[in-house]
Chains A and B, each alone.
Chain A
Amino acid sequence: MGVSDEVLVARFKEGDESSFKELVERYQSRVYSIVLAMLGDKNDADDLSQEVFLKVYRFIHQFKGRSKFFTWLYRLTINTCISARNRKKRNNQILLSQSFKKDFTPIDTLQNDAKSPIEILQNRELEKKIKLALDSLSDGLKEVFVLREIEDLSYKQLSRILHCPEGTVKSRLFRAREELKKKLMPYIDEL
C-alpha cells in the first residue's frame, strides 16, 4: 500500500509537485471513466478530465481535509461534467449522435476475450446499446449509477459526494437499474 492521499495532499500543499503527479496517476483512470460515462464523448472526456485536475491544482488550498480527498475530487468531477453538459446544451450540440459517429473504440476487455470477428461485432453492438441506454438516463440517475459502478462506493459515501440522503441514493440507483434493465433485457439475459 503506497502513501495515503492525505499525505500526498499535505506534501503537494507544501509545493511538492511529484505528489500532485502521483495523485493524478492514481485517479486519472477513474476521473476519465466518470467523465466519459457522463458525457459520452471521448475527445471531450480527455479535455474535461484535465480540467478537473487543473481545478485540483488551483484550488487544493480550499480542501481542508474534513472529508476524504476522493469525496472532494469526485464532487469536483461531477460538477465539472454538469457544467460542461449544460454548456453544450446551451450551444445546441447533440451529444448522442456526435459521440457515436466519432472515435468509437471497442471495449478492451471484451475484445481480448472475443476470438471471432462475429463476437467482436456483437460486443461492439452491446457497447453501443449500453452507452445509448446510459445516455438516456437523467443526470441525477446517471451520476449515482456511474459512481457506484466505477468506484463501488457505499451509499454513505455516495450521499456525501452527491449531497443527498442515503435513501435518495438507494432509490436513484434502483430507478437507474430498472431503466437500464428494461432497455437491455435481451442482452443481459443472454449472458
Chain B
Amino acid sequence: MRCDWFKKNLSAYIDGEVNFLTRWRIKRHLKSCTDCYKDYIRLKNLRKISKIILLKNPEPGFYERLQAKLPRLNPNITLKKTGSLAKFWMLLPLPGKLAIGGVAILILFLLIIYPHLSGSSLNINKFEEEYLRSKEIFSVVEEPAPPLLPVSEER
C-alpha cells in the first residue's frame, strides 16, 4: 500500500479514530517506513505544543465580572421553573425514556385496543360447558325422591 494512504490516516490514527485493522496496518507500516514515521512524530509534537498554546485561563475574577453583567433586575428575564416530574424526565437517560414510553403504550394497548380485537370478551365455550354442567346437577336434583316406606308398626 502506498504511503499516501497511510499519511492520510495518520491524523485519525493519532486521535484513536481508526478501526482495529487500520490501526494494525498503520502500526506495522510505521515500523518499516522512516518517512511516515517522521510524519507521525511531527503530528504528535504538533498536538503536544498545540495543547500547551491553546489551553489558557481567563484573568482572575471572571465570574465577578460576569455577575455584574447578569440581568438580575430585569423583570423580563425570568427563569422558567420546572416541576419535579419535568425535572425527573429531563434527568432520565434516553433508554429509560424509551422504556417508560414503551410500557405506557403497551398498557394503553391492552386496556383499550386489545379487547376490541378479540371480538368478544366472553369465552363462549367455557360458558357453555358450565351451563351444561349446571344442568346436569339440576337434573339430578329435580328427580323426586323415592317415597319413604312406612315402618311396620308391629311390635
Contact = CB atoms under 8 A, between A and B. Distances in A.
Interface in A6-20: 6-7, 10, 12-15
B79 A60 contact: yes
Interface string B55-69: 111110011011001
- Interface of A, secondary structure class, is helix
Interface in A44-65: 45-46, 49-50, 53-54, 57-58, 60-61, 64-65
B70 interface: yes
A96 interface: no
User: Which 9 residue pairs across A and B have the least CB separation, nearest first?
Assistant: A188-B45, A32-B58, A191-B45, A174-B11, A149-B50, A65-B90, A61-B80, A50-B66, A130-B53
Contacts of B50: 130, 145, 149, 180
Given A57-B70, A181-B43, A110 B56 contact: no
A14 B51 contact: no
- Interface of B, secondary structure class, is helix
Interface stretch (A22-30, A70-78, A80-88): A22-30
Given A177-B43, A188-B46, 20 more contacts: A13-B80, A14-B82, A24-B62, A24-B63, A32-B56, A45-B58, A54-B69, A61-B80, A107-B52, A107-B53, A127-B53, A131-B53, A149-B47, A149-B54, A150-B54, A173-B11, A174-B8, A177-B46, A180-B50, A189-B45
A120 interface: no
20 contacts: A10-B91, A13-B80, A14-B81, A29-B55, A29-B57, A33-B54, A107-B52, A107-B53, A130-B49, A148-B15, A150-B54, A154-B17, A155-B17, A170-B11, A174-B8, A184-B46, A187-B49, A188-B46, A189-B45, A191-B49
Given A10-B90, A154-B17, A24 B66 contact: yes
Nearest to B48: A191
A109 interface: yes
Given A29-B56, A180-B46, A10 B66 contact: no
Contacts of B66: 24, 50, 53-54
Interface of B: 8, 11-12, 15, 17, 39, 42-43, 45-59, 62-63, 65-66, 69-71, 77, 79-82, 87, 90-91
B49 A126 contact: yes
Contact of A10 (B8, B11, B77, B87): B87
B79 A188 contact: no
Nearest to A6: B91
A25 B66 CA distance: 11
Given A155-B17, A181-B43, A58 B51 contact: no
Contact of B69 (A25, A50, A131, A154): A50
A21 interface: yes
B155 to A, nearest CB: 101
A57 B57 contact: no
